[in-house]
Each structure stands twice: as structure tokens, then as C-alpha cells.
């Protein structure tokens, strides 16, 4: 008679589209791309990118240590740049990708240059050209993989001027900690102080590195 208490090991089926596997594949592909300095030289392409910090701002010291000596292992920010046609829901041919990545990285270079406590020379980037239908998923997977501090904690780096009609909006956390962008100076004060954000950044990175 068969023992009803007998237990069995359940084999998990291999799923090639599992989010974790996709994340690993995307991260590997991104890390294989060459490192370049901001601001970018003009180039054609759309896809995803990662920004790396190698400066000496104390709150980012743990992060910067992972990127020095030409390692570039942990991005401070991950983003995407989609072709104009993709924003309207249409597919875009490879030969009409435009300057999406170049324009986005150029905007970021201007934001960093405007910040009073950052130096543009402390930032590098990688780009990965991606078919437009996969760009949003690729960005999500990279954020989930690396948990960049400017994506997950100090939000607002990728924001643009909200316009005159939205001056009652609150200043982004990024602009509170890295003041300098002219348009952000006219917004309402952020709910936390720069000192509070400094502590949160340090605690976030310590937790990320299990320290």
C-alpha cells in the first residue's frame, strides 16, 4: 500500500521569458557596452542607458566605489529614450530611430551641469540600442536589477520644466538635494530637507550593499 505521507520534489519548468532571466540578460548586454563621458557626442539610436557616478560626494561614496578603477558596476540612474513614433503607439523602423538617446543624455548633462553640488566630469554612461517595442520592459528590468538611487529614492532627475501653469507643484526630491535647475527653484519646497535626504541616501546604499 502506498504511503500517503510520502513527499515528492516538484520540478520547476524552465521559463525563458522569466523576468529574472530577462533582467540578467539585459544587464549583461548593457555591461558589455563601452563607457563614454557626458555630454554625449551626437549619434543616432533609441533604447536604454545607464549613468554612472565616480565623484567624491560623501553620500554617494559606496556607489562611487563600485564604479571606480574602470569597473562601472552600479548605475546611479537608468532611463529610456523612445523614438517619437513609438510614443504614439506605432512601430518605428530601425533606420528612423532618430536622436532619441542623444537628446535624452544631452538633457541629463544639462541637469547635472546646473546642479550646484555635482560635476559633469564625474559622470559616465552606457547605452544599449533596443527595438522600440522592448524599450519600456528593458528599462523596467534594469531598474529592478540595479535599484539605482536616482530611480528608486531620489526621484525627479528626469523631469522637465512643468510649465507656468503648474508652479504649485512640489519641487522634486532630486532638485531639493541637488539644487540648481532654474525651473525647479520656482516650485514649492520639497516635503523633506536636504539633510534628511542625505541620511536616506546613505541608509539606502548601506542596505543595498548589506552594510
Q: What is the pLDDT of residues 141-186, one digit of tens each?
A: 899 999 999 999 999 999 988 876 666 789 999 999 999 999 999 8
Helix/strand/coil for 74 = coil
Question: Tell me, what's the pLDDT at 105?
Answer: 98
Cα(30)–Cα(13) distance, integer angstroms: 27
Assigned C-alpha cell, 153: 529614492
Which residues touch 111 (CB under 8 Å, ≥6 apart)?
157, 181
Question: Tell me, what's the pLDDT at 2?
Answer: 55
Cα(53)–Cα(65) distance, integer angstroms: 9
Classify residue 206 by burial, with Cβ atoms within 10 Å: 0-12, 13-18, 19+.
Answer: exposed
Helix/strand/coil for 67 = coil
Cα(210)–Cα(151) distance, integer angstroms: 19
Cα(179)–Cα(189) distance, integer angstroms: 11
Residue with cell string 542607458: 49
Please state the rounded mean pLDDT for residues 64-72. Answer: 93
Percent of the chain's residues with pLDDT above 70: 89
CATH numbers and ranges of domains, the chain: 19-157 (3.40.1440.10)
Question: Tell me, what's the pLDDT at 96?
Answer: 53
Assigned C-alpha cell, 22: 530577462
Question: Tell me, what's the pLDDT at 1?
Answer: 52
Q: Write phi, then psi, for 74 (nearest 5 degrees).
A: -130, 110
Question: Tell me, what's the pLDDT at 7?
Answer: 82
Other beta carbons within 10 angstroms of residue 164's beta carbon come to: 8
Q: Strand ranges (DSSP E) for the chain?
A: 36-37, 47-53, 77-81, 123-129
Question: Tell me, what's the pLDDT at 166?
Answer: 65
Residue 185 Cα distances to 23, 81, 142, angstroms: 37, 26, 31
Beta bridge partners of 47: 81, 129
Amino acid at each position: 500500500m502506498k504511503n500517503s505521507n510520502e513527499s515528492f520534489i516538484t520540478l520547476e519548468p524552465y521559463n525563458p521569458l522569466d523576468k529574472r532571466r530577462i533582467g540578467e540578460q539585459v544587464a549583461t548586454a548593457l555591461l558589455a557596452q563601452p563607457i563614454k563621458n557626458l555630454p554625449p557626442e551626437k549619434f543616432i539610436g533609441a533604447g536604454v542607458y545607464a549613468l554612472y557616478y565616480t565623484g567624491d560626494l560623501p553620500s554617494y561614496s559606496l556607489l562611487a566605489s563600485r564604479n571606480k578603477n574602470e569597473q562601472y558596476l552600479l548605475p546611479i540612474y537608468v532611463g529610456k529614450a523612445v523614438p517619437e513614433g513609438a510614443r504614439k503607439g506605432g512601430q518605428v523602423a530601425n533606420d528612423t530611430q532618430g536622436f532619441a538617446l542623444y537628446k535624452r543624455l544631452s538633457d541629463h548633462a544639462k541637469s547635472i551641469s546646473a546642479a550646484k553640488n555635482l560635476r559633469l566630469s564625474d559622470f559616465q554612461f552606457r547605452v544599449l540600442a533596443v527595438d522600440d517595442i522592448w524599450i519600456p520592459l528593458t528599462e523596467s528590468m534594469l531598474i529592478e536589477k540595479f535599484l539605482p538611487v536616482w530611480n528608486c529614492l531620489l526621484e525627479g532627475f528626469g523631469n522637465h520644466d512643468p510649465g507656468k501653469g503648474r508652479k504649485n507643484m512640489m519641487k522634486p526630491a532630486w532638485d531639493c538635494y541637488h539644487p540648481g535647475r532654474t525651473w525647479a527653484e520656482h516650485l514649492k519646497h520639497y516635503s523633506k530637507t536636504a539633510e534628511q535626504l542625505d541620511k536616506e541616501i546613505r541608509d539606502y546604499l548601506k542596505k543595498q550593499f548589506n552594510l
